[in-house]
Amino acid sequence: MYRILLTATRICLFAFLLGGFLVVAGQTLGIVIGSGPIVTTFGTDVADHVGVLAGVASILAFLLLYTREGRDSAPDE
């Protein structure tokens, strides 16, 4: 279970980071060419999907702590 969650977390994290880059690049392109609809699209529609990906990645990372391997690798307080 740990390996599945770790792989899913890494995939979602990569997709989230790539999506964040896409949002910034798309808005920058929209500003440079002076297109308000492009800036709005990347600021709302694309950013909403990237936010969902970030939420899924954080939930998966949180669930990693509830596996045996995750508890063993967690730092002691």
For residue range 5-49, what is the model confidence (pLDDT) as tens digits?
889 999 999 999 999 999 999 999 999 999 889 999 888 988 999
Note whether residue 75 is domain-resident. no
Domain assignment of residue 45, yes or no: yes
Asked if residue 70 belongs to a domain, the reply is: no
- Domain residue limits at 52: 2-65
pLDDT of residue 67: 78
Whether residue 54 lies inside any domain: the answer is yes
Joined tokens for residue 20: 């964040």
Say how far apart CA 23 and CA 39 lie, in whole Å. Answer: 9
Q: Does residue 73 lie in a domain region?
A: no
Structural domain includes residue 26: yes
**Exposure on the CB side of residue 30, measured as CA atoms within 13 A:** 15
Is the whole model's pTM more than 0.85, yes or no? no
What's residue 31's pLDDT? 94
pLDDT at 70: 64
